[in-house]
Amino acid sequence: EAQVTQNPRYLITVTGKKLTVTCSQNMNHEYMSWYRQDPGLGLRQIYYSMNVEVTDKGDVPEGYKVSRKEKRNFPLILESPSPNQTSLYFCASSISPYDEQFFGPGTRLTVL
């Protein structure tokens, strides 16, 4: 089944403790992206990647890192999480940024 998977689905952590949210797609998509969703703010793009080893900042990259060492994986790294990063995070992939994006199920992160 074609899908985007994210892990973990739920995470509660404390300020400053490094964490990684994994994202994997099995559709051989070139374009992958991370978003955060907050009430009243919609989805905001954090980082995107056009291909392996090619990443770029979205609208809200501060406090986040990404890597794209393999085509199928696009992990989101929070080196030193803070409470303002409490949010619902979505990973998405598509053939290109002009095509339909397929979204993962979301990761709900709480930083205390």
CB atoms within 10 A of CB 31: 19
Residue 105, preceding peptide bond in cis (omega within 30° of 0): no
3-state class (DSSP) for residue 31: strand
101 touches another protein (CB under 8 A): yes
Contact pick of 33, 85, 87, 93 for another protein (by CB under 8 A): 33
Distances (CA, A) of 110 to 59, 76, 81: 21, 15, 10
What string marks each residue from 46 to 65 as x (binds another protein by CB under 8 A) or -? --x-x-----x-xx------
Q: Shortest gap between Cβ of 17 and another protein (angstroms)?
A: 26
| Span from 18-26, 31-39, 65-73, 74-82 in contact with another protein (CB under 8 A) | 31-39
Output the smallest distance, CB 105 to another protein, in A. 6
Q: Please state, in angstroms and rounded to a whole number, the distance separating the CA atoms of residues 23 and 41.
A: 23
Rank residues 90 and 111 by Cβ distance to another protein and give the closer one: 90
Contact set with another protein (CB under 8 A): 4, 31, 33, 35, 40-45, 48, 50, 56, 58-59, 90, 92, 97-98, 100-101, 103-106
